[in-house]
Amino acid sequence: MLTIEGLKKSYAGNDILKGISIDVNKGDVISIIGPSGSGKTTLLRTMTTLEEADGGHLTFAGVDKDFEKLTGKEVNTIRRNVGFVFQNYNLFNNKTALQNITEGLIVARKVKKSEAEKIALKALERVGLTDRKNHYPSQLSGGQQQRVGIARAIALNPEVIFFDEPTSALDPELVGEVLKVMQDLASSGTTMVVVTHQMSFARDVSNRVIFMADGHIVEQGAPKAIFEKPSEQRTKKFLTDILANV
Amino acid sequence: MENIKLIINFLGQLLPAINITLIVSVSSIILGSLLGLLLAAARLSESVVLRVLASVYVSVVRATPAIIMIFVVYYGMPMLFNDWFHTNIDGWNRMYFVIIALTVLFSAPVSEIMRSAYESIAKGQMEAGLMVGMTPFQTLYRIILPQAFVVALPNFANSVINLLKEGALTFTIGVVDMVAKAQMIVANNSGGYAWQTYCALALIYWVISLAIDKGVSQVEKSYQAKRKTIAV
Amino acid sequence: MSLNTDFMVKVAQTAIQGVPVTLQIVLVALVIAFPIGILFALIRIYRVKGLQRLVQFYVSLVRGTPIIAQILIVYSAFPSLLNMIIGRAAFAINPIYYAYIVFTLNAIATLTEVFRSALQTVDKGQMEAGLMVGMQPRQTFWRIILPQALISALPNIANTTLYLIKNSSLAFIMSVKDITAIAKTEAAFNYNFLEAYLVVWVYYLIICYAAEVVFYLLERYFSKYRRPIKKTSGFNWLPFGIKQPKLERKQS
Ligand SMILES: Nc1ncnc2c1ncn2[C@@H]1O[C@H](COP(=O)(O)OP(=O)(O)OP(=O)(O)O)[C@@H](O)[C@H]1O
Ligand SMILES: [Mg+2]
């Protein structure tokens, strides 16, 4: 459904992504793990056109093209078909929870207001926040904000939702509520690509784990394989280190 | 081209009067800073009366146009002195009145700048200083003030530029500063070359403002450089 | 002290006719300068080639020169400029138009800086979130970024307004019949300058404080989204107006 090949990105001469290829199938829940600075965020941002890639090919939503040749129209198509959940939520600060969700529907999708509100309420219900629909982001806890962030993404019914460390800005006691929502999404068949440091999510929820280091995909496979008998030394070391620190 | 020549010519005629501007500005900056310091101390003091008085003072001054302040001081002070001290100060150099008015005007924002700079630094730093065995005074002098200085500097410079500009109203009570000089030049040319004359005037002020800004960013840079070397 | 109180009452009555003039100058300047200030701020932020230098130069020039110099330049240059365009009618123009020009030019420079810093306080994640729900950059700017920026700019817009109100007291130099001009004329009859200026002072205090209250209410109303529920900050009546503009930025 979504395929990238040989994705490259550099900042000021530093190669951050050195040719990444990923295949996302419908219903996949892919976890991307890897040490800090390995380029995970950059990968998500270039895949979703938030950041311009320097090279690579994309096949998605009827677009079949090299990244650098994408037209404005195609960029719009891509953005319309993906959802993005940000590490620090990025809810619209001047909009209520409900308006955060209806905004994209009304303005970008041209959905009627009443219709948009119906969709938004359904999305809020899925993340368990119906009673907070009129609250502004500053009036919500981090966990609630991130759940609104997720509701905002699912309301648009995208082909695939990208998550960039959705729980790492949260206080430990709030992580659970967000992970639970993500788990529900996964089991309902939503296609998800999740950058995460939550090894439990990678192991128990996803159907594929990608381990990245230094701008390369070092290893990928079923969670069981990666966690129990990684074939690469670096993966083993990363997993031992991170699991020792939990 | 013609105009540029004219402006340069007028610059030459205006510049001698710059010392009035400088004397007025520098005296008001010094006096205003001292007064501002007292006000900041009052705002931070334990006494409710002092705090309220200082805040009322600051808010009134903040809402007072410079020209009105200058006029009120100029016309009011002689009357006050006459009634209360039975002294006649009509003969004072008029610059004194401007300096007093500008001092009052400058003291208000400066006290606010000092106060907020102090507050932004003081909290944790005083405790830290005391914990390593310094006296409160040593902590204030060696730790808090240097940091507060850096925090306050850009805003202080901004206020100085404002003061400089307000000082351009000195002419309104008959002191022959650059503005008055410019008006005289225009009058002597029976109204001719007016905008060129006033552009020359504006240019002088602009250069001073730019110089102040430049100086401040220089000082800031040197402080940042220091910080970096320590941070390594 | 022997103030001529009868005279003060009389000045208060005549000078009040200058209040609308002062307010008019301030409002006209603000309304015209507002959109231009936003435009200039955007030019600065997005470093629009060519224009960005020009805006920077303009702002620095206005900020670095006394308003009196600006008044003198406009008042001496514009009539002859206009004379070339519309002929002798230029000299019959109501001087208040010159005041509009000076104070608008002045406000544009101040507001450019105000909006620039306000727009920069809006997290760039807000734009990215807008793009990711499928909105165009332009739509995100108008609907998400600008409203937040304007609200965080309110304290500084209030400051700009105070500056305008105070500076407008110099309009008399262009023979505009504002509060100061009327009082000055009254005072000149029998040299009751102190009394006249005390009255004027009170008027400016009232206008400035009224403006502060208006802005306080605006801020209160529009920043509802920034307030945690229930916790409302009371209005600080006593030392009012001394609150520092705080460009707090909600870090999540
Ligand atoms: N805008 C940028 N300009 C320059 N360098 C950047 C930029 N964004 C990221 N980088 C660099 O790219 C590298 C990869 O960053 P990235 O944020 O993708 O890592 P990450 O894997 O998401 O790390 P983390 O787990 O800490 O979030 C880092 O070395 C970072 O310094
Ligand atoms: Mg990251």
Domain containing residue C72: CATH number: 1.10.3720.10
Whether A139 and C132 lie within 8 Å, measured CB to CB = no
- Give yes or no for residue C234 having a pLDDT over 70: no
- Give yes or no for residue C231 having a pLDDT over 50: no
- pLDDT tens digits along A187-237: 999 999 999 999 999 999 999 999 999 999 999 999 999 998 888 999 999
Q: Tokens 């609104």 belong to which residue? A: A148
Residue C99 in domain = yes
* Nearest CA-CA partner of C62 in C36, C85, C86, C84: C36
Contacts for C32-35 with beta carbons within 8 Å, 24 or more apart?
C32/C100, C32/C104, C32/C107, C32/C108, C33/C104, C33/C107, C33/C108, C33/C110, C33/C111, C34/C111
Sheet holding A208-213, edge to edge: A82-85, A160-164, A192-195, A29-33, A208-213, A216-221
Residue C142 in domain = yes
Lowest mean pLDDT among B113-117, C133-137, C196-200, C244-248: C244-248
**Residue of higher predicted confidence among B164 and C82:** B164
Distance B60 CA to ligand 2 centre (A): 51
Pocket flag, ligand 1, residue A39 (CB < 6 Å): yes
Q: What is the pLDDT of residue C203?
A: 94
Who contacts A173 (Cβ-Cβ below 8 Å, separation ≥6)?
none
Continuous segment of H or E residues that includes residue B231: helix B194-231
- Give yes or no for residue A20 having a pLDDT over 90: yes
- pLDDT tens digits along B55-72: 999 999 999 999 999 999
Using a CB–CB cutoff of 8 Å, tell me whether A169 touches chain C: yes
Task: Please provide the average confidence, as pLDDT, over all residues in chain C.
Answer: 86
**Domain enclosing residue C76, as ranges:** 5-226
Whether C225 and A90 lie within 8 Å, measured CB to CB = no
| Among A10, A16, A199, residue to substitute to test ligand 1 (most atoms within 8 Å of Cβ) | A16
Pocket flag, ligand 1, residue A226 (CB < 6 Å): no
CA distance B203 to chain C (A): 8
Whether B75 and C194 lie within 8 Å, measured CB to CB = yes
Q: What is the pLDDT of residue B231?
A: 47
Q: Which of C1, C167, C193 sits opposite B83 (nearest CB)?
A: C1
Query: How far is residue C67's CA from residue B172's CA, in Å, rounded to a whole number?
Result: 14
Q: What is the ipTM of this complex?
A: 0.91
Segments making up each domain of chain B, as ranges: 2-231
- Give yes or no for residue A74 having a pLDDT over 60: yes
Using a CB–CB cutoff of 8 Å, tell me whether B79 touches chain C: yes
Residue C81 in domain = yes
Q: Please report residues of C whose CB lies closer than 8 A to that of A90.
A: 123, 125-126, 128-129, 252
* Nearest CA-CA partner of A205 in A27, A74, A13, A26: A27
- Using CB atoms within 10 A of its CB, is residue A72 exposed (0-12), middle (13-18) or buried (19+)? exposed
Q: Which residue of C has its CA nearest to A158?
A: C133
- Give yes or no for residue A30 having a pLDDT over 50: yes
Query: How far is residue A229's CA from residue B84's CA, in Å, rounded to a whole number?
Result: 95
Residue C175 in domain = yes
- CB pairs A-C closer than 8 Å: 87
Residue C245 in domain = no
End-to-end CA distance of chain C: 59
One digit per residue, the tens of pLDDT, for chain B of length 232 reads 788 888 888 888 888 889 999 999 999 999 999 999 999 999 998 899 999 999 999 999 999 999 999 999 999 988 888 888 877 777 788 899 999 999 999 999 999 999 988 888 877 787 788 888 888 888 888 888 888 888 888 889 999 999 999 999 999 998 989 998 998 888 888 777 888 889 999 999 999 999 999 999 888 888 777 766 554 3
Whether A90 and C128 lie within 8 Å, measured CB to CB = yes
Q: Which residue of C has its CA nearest to A85?
A: C129
Q: What is the pLDDT of residue C252?
A: 36
Pocket flag, ligand 1, residue A42 (CB < 6 Å): yes
Q: Where does the pLDDT of residue C3 fall: very low under 50, low under 70, confident under 90, or very high at 90 and above?
A: confident
- pLDDT tens digits along C175-215: 899 999 998 888 888 788 888 999 999 999 999 999 999 99
Query: How far is residue B54's CA from residue B48's CA, in Å, rounded to a whole number?
Result: 10
* Cα separations in angstroms, B139 against B3, B145, C171, C218, C221: 57, 9, 49, 42, 43
Q: Are C63 and C135 in contact (CB under 8 A)?
A: no
Using a CB–CB cutoff of 8 Å, tell me whether C228 touches chain A: yes
Q: What is the pLDDT of residue B192?
A: 77
Residue C29 in domain = yes
Q: What is the pLDDT of residue A244?
A: 79
Q: What is the pLDDT of residue B228?
A: 62
Q: What is the pLDDT of residue B229?
A: 57
Q: Are C167 and C129 in contact (CB under 8 A)?
A: no
Question: What is the number of alpha carbons within 13 Å of residue B14 lying toward its C-beta?
Answer: 25
* Nearest CA-CA partner of B198 in A170, A51, C78: C78
Whether C205 and B63 lie within 8 Å, measured CB to CB = yes
- Give yes or no for residue C236 having a pLDDT over 70: no
Using a CB–CB cutoff of 8 Å, tell me whether C249 touches chain A: no
Query: The CATH number of B2-231 is which of 1.10.3720.10, 3.40.50.2300, 3.40.47.10, 3.40.50.880?
Result: 1.10.3720.10
- pLDDT tens digits along C21-71: 999 999 999 999 999 999 999 999 999 998 999 999 999 999 999 999 999
**Structure tokens belonging to residue A116:** 């948009």
Atom of ligand 1 nearest to the CA of A43: 18
Mutate to test the interface with B, among C169, C185, C197, C236 (most CBs of B within 10 A): C197
- Number of domains observed in the structure of chain C: 1
Query: How far is residue A116's CA from residue A133's CA, in Å, rounded to a whole number?
Result: 13
